[in-house]
């Protein structure tokens, strides 16, 4: 059910609607446990209900918690896809060694076609996007002369986007 409402976002960004919905539900559950729970904890009740700001603070805490949990799960998924891509790249390398030797442009096209034939999950993952960027950069330049600069700019762009994705967590903390 969650996958049905999942927003298409980069893996380093948690979908805000999912985070807000789940965080709000957790916050409601927390306050329900305080109010109707089996154990009475006056100190926790006083701390959690002392002011209207406390309600918002706890809700923001749970929203940030859901966002971080999502990021952790997505990071684990990307890590598994990196492992899968290593074996896939090795399979492509073996298939390439069996193929006849042709020009550089044809080799790049062959590699692009081989990468496109992978599963959509692997093809759209972070490592898949990076490999597609490298292959398209090689196809545009027809050499590896500027490959390092292209990879560095892509890495910097991803690092900036990942840093920006933690804005909600930085605001809450």
pLDDT tens digits in sequence order for the chain, 173 residues long = 444 444 444 555 667 888 899 999 999 999 999 989 888 888 888 888 888 899 999 999 999 899 888 888 888 888 888 888 877 777 776 666 655 554 566 777 777 777 778 777 887 787 888 888 887 877 777 766 677 787 788 788 878 877 777 776 777 66
pTM: 0.67
Q: What are phi and psi of 101, to 5 degrees?
A: -80, 120
Looking at residue 97, its pLDDT comes to 63
As a whole number of angstroms, the distance between CA 51 and CA 72 comes to: 32
Domain ranges of the chain: 2-172
Looking at residue 6, its pLDDT comes to 43
Looking at residue 11, its pLDDT comes to 53
Looking at residue 100, its pLDDT comes to 52
Using alpha carbons, select from 104, 171, 96, 113 the residue that is nearest to residue 140: 104
């Amino acid at each position: 059910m969650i996958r049905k409402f999942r927003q298409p976002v980069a893996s380093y960004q948690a979908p805000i609607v999912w985070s807000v919905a789940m965080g709000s539900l957790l916050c409601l559950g927390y306050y329900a446990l305080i109010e109707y729970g089996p154990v009475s904890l006056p100190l926790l009740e006083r701390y959690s209900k002392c002011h209207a700001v406390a309600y918002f603070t706890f809700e923001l805490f749970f929203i940030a918690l859901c966002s971080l949990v999502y990021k952790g799960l997505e990071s684990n998924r990307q890590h598994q896809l990196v492992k899968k891509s290593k074996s896939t790249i090795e399979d492509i390398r073996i298939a390439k060694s069996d193929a006849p030797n042709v020009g550089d442009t044809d080799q790049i096209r062959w590699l692009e076609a081989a990468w496109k034939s992978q599963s959509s999950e692997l093809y759209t993952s972070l490592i898949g996007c990076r490999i597609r960027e490298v292959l398209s950069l090689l196809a545009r330049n027809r050499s590896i002369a500027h490959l390092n600069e292209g990879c560095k700019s892509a890495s910097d762009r991803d690092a900036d986007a990942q840093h920006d994705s933690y804005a909600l967590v930085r605001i809450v903390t």
